[in-house]
């Protein structure tokens, strides 16, 4: 079993839709939970991070963590074509970053 699992997609949605991206993890020692966004031919960039169960909101983006279920989600409201990218969940313990394989999202105008 991989440490972090993520639906690879691709996922296509119309502009304005609510998008739900999900990851599951296996190691209870994980401390930080993050979402990175990667545009085509670019390096990943940090979108959001959290370290506790519950929701964290930043504009149109909401990160949700459920430690009891080892499940993290990223919700995108009012999705825009500029949100088209690959979204990577990342989980940290100590100095170790473990990334999910990424979900490719296309938002169609």
Partner 1 sequence: EAQVTQNPRYLITVTGKKLTVTCSQNMNHEYMSWYRQDPGLGLRQIYYSMNVEVTDKGDVPEGYKVSRKEKRNFPLILESPSPNQTSLYFCASSSHPGAHEQYFGPGTRLTVT
Pick 15 or 57: Cβ nearer partner 1? 57
Q: Which residues contact residue 59 at a Cβ distance below 8 angstroms, ignoring those fewer than 6 apart?
A: none
Phi–psi pair at 15, nearest 5 degrees: -55, 135
Residues in 9-48 at the binding interface with partner 1, rule: CB under 8 A: 32, 34, 41-46
Residue closer to partner 1 (CB basis): 83 or 102: 102
> With binding defined as CB under 8 A, does residue 1 bind partner 1?
no
Stretch of 13-21, 52-60, 69-77, 96-104 contacting partner 1, by CB under 8 A: 96-104
Cα-based distances in Å from 47 to 27, 58, 87, 93: 22, 9, 9, 19
Q: Is 95 a binder of partner 1 (CB under 8 A)?
A: yes
């Amino acid at each position: 079993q991989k440490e972090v699992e993520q639906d690879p997609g691709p996922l296509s949605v119309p502009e304005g839709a609510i998008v739900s991206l999900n990851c599951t993890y296996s190691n209870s020692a994980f401390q930080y939970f993050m979402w990175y966004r990667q545009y085509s031919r670019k390096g990943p960039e940090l979108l959001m991070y959290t370290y506790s169960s519950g929701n964290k909101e930043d504009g149109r983006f909401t990160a949700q963590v459920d430690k009891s279920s080892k499940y993290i989600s990223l919700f995108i409201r009012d999705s825009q074509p500029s949100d088209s990218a690959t979204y990577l969940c990342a989980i940290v313990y100590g100095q170790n970053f473990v990334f999910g394989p990424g979900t490719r999202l296309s938002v169609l105008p």
